[in-house]
């Protein structure tokens, strides 16, 4: 896509409205401008009887959308600019609008689908992946927590898999995404041109998802989560982050020991306060409506840039890139339960 084109490209082909996130150099990370462009176009197409469905995709072959433009938000916060809250409010409103959209929405999740990209994709009625797809909510790595509805869709995955993904930030491949219900259809990346031909010919006489599913003949490997499910349930049902870490360290079964060791190492480098808040967020979200989950995430956003670890995480990993974040507190054994609880006061 040309840099002279807008950050979101809207076009109509046949009876399908196509929205392309056009920041390939930034892995199509969302800006406030892009959120507003998406919202405006979706509203227009909602009232257009010629448009029978909408397709969301990302420019380039690397990513559907790798999240929000968190570095831009970091810089705005440092400068004391006031539209940070606007970004989260409007991004969550867009995600909520997509969840309730009156026409089929196909999210073409080729490549990386992270953070804000997951918010868009998990709101779509048809979630399509390829063998190149890598899905994840990696927020704790930068001292943040899973948002964009993550507090709703993560805890509704089988068992404790959503808590494992939210706390560790682990990426999911195509086989595991299909297995746990983060995607509906998987096709080969070389079939994307064939998919576009199908979309161009769509006339509404058949179910769109059923038509697309006919393309799906990709033989995926056995999902790792099928073997890990009971083990993930065991460790991530522990009462707090320190207990989860101790449980992982106590894993001695040969078939799970390497996974447990690698997972413990991830916990050791993530933000302790972000993981603790994520654990509470997801356990609360399991019993809340989607709207309540968005409200809870927005409440945390208003406190997090001054009270959480995100500014330090972005500095260390995205700005200075020294990869040595000074988390507060630095270790999970130093977590204060009252501090964690305070983020959820006055919800």
Order of strands, sheet of 16-21, starting from the edge strand that comes earlier in the sequence: 8-13, 16-21, 53-58, 105-109, 126-130, 185-187
Q: Which of 69, 139, 184, 297 is catalytic?
A: 139
Burial readout 226-261 (b: 16 or more C-beta within 10 A, e: otherwise): eebbebbebbbebebbbebbebbeebeeeebeebbe
Q: Which residue has the tokens 């998802």?
A: 209
Question: Which residues are within 8 A (CB) of 274 and not within 5 positions of it... i.e. 6 or more apart?
Answer: 139, 140, 143, 144, 145, 308, 309, 310, 313
The three-class DSSP label of residue 167 is: helix
Question: Which residues are within 8 A (CB) of 11 and not within 5 positions of it... i.e. 6 or more apart?
Answer: 17, 18, 20
The three-class DSSP label of residue 101 is: coil
Q: Quick check: is 139 catalytic?
A: yes
Residue 159 has which token pair? 């068992």
Question: Which residues are within 8 A (CB) of 192 and not within 5 positions of it... i.e. 6 or more apart?
Answer: 108, 110, 130
Q: Quick check: is 336 catalytic?
A: no
Count of all residues that appear for the chain in the document: 347
Question: Which residues are within 8 A (CB) of 220 and not within 5 positions of it... i.e. 6 or more apart?
Answer: 131, 174, 175, 178, 186
Q: What does the alpha-carbon distance between residue 324 and residue 321 come to, in Å, rounded to a whole number?
A: 8
Q: What does the alpha-carbon distance between residue 154 and residue 165 come to, in Å, rounded to a whole number?
A: 8
Q: Which of 58, 67, 116, 159 is catalytic?
A: 116
Q: Quick check: is 150 catalytic?
A: no
Q: What does the alpha-carbon distance between residue 210 and residue 110 come to, in Å, rounded to a whole number?
A: 19
Q: Which of 69, 91, 147, 184 is catalytic?
A: 147
CA distances in angstroms from 341 to 97, 227, 300, listed in the order given: 30, 34, 11
Q: Which of 17, 68, 111, 119 is catalytic?
A: 68
**Residue 334: half-sphere exposure toward Cβ, Cα within 13 Å:** 8
Q: Quick check: is 116 catalytic?
A: yes
Active site residues: 68, 116, 139, 147
């Amino acid at each position: 896509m040309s840099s002279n084109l807008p950050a979101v490209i809207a076009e109509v082909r046949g009876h399908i409205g196509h929205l392309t996130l056009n920041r390939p150099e930034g892995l199509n990370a969302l800006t406030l401008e892009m959120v507003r462009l998406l919202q405006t176009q979706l509203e227009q197409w909602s009232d257009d009887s010629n448009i029978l469905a909408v397709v969301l995709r990302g420019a380039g072959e690397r990513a559907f959308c790798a999240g929000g433009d968190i570095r831009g938000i970091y810089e705005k916060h440092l400068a004391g600019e006031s539209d940070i809250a606007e970004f989260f409010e409007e991004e969550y409103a867009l995600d909520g609008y997509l969840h309730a959209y009156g026409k089929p929405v196909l999210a073409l999740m080729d490549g990386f689908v992270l953070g804000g990209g997951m918010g868009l994709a998990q709101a779509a009625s048809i979630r399509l992946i390829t063998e190149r797809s890598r899905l994840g909510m990696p927020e704790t790595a930068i001292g943040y927590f899973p948002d964009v509805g993550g507090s709703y869709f993560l805890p509704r995955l089988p068992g404790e898999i959503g808590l494992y993904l939210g706390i560790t930030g682990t990426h999911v491949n195509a086989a595991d995404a299909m297995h746990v219900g983060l995607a509906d259809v998987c096709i080969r990346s070389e079939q994307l041109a064939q998919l576009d031909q199908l979309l161009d010919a769509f006339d509404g006489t058949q179910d769109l998802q059923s038509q697309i599913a006919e393309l799906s003949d990709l033989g995926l490997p056995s999902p790792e989560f099928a073997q890990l499910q009971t083990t993930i349930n065991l460790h991530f049902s522990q009462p707090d982050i320190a207990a989860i870490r101790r449980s992982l360290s106590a894993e001695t079964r040969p078939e799970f020991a390497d996974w447990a060791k690698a997972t413990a190492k991830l916990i050791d480098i993530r933000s302790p306060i972000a993981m603790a808040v994520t654990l509470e967020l997801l356990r609360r979200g399991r019993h809340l409506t989607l709207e309540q989950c968005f409200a809870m995430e927005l409440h945390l956003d208003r406190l997090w840039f001054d009270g959480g670890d995100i500014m330090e995480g972005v500095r260390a990993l995205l700005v200075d890139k020294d990869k040595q974040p000074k988390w507060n507190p630095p270790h999970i054994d130093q977590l204060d339960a009252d501090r964690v609880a305070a983020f959820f006061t006055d919800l």
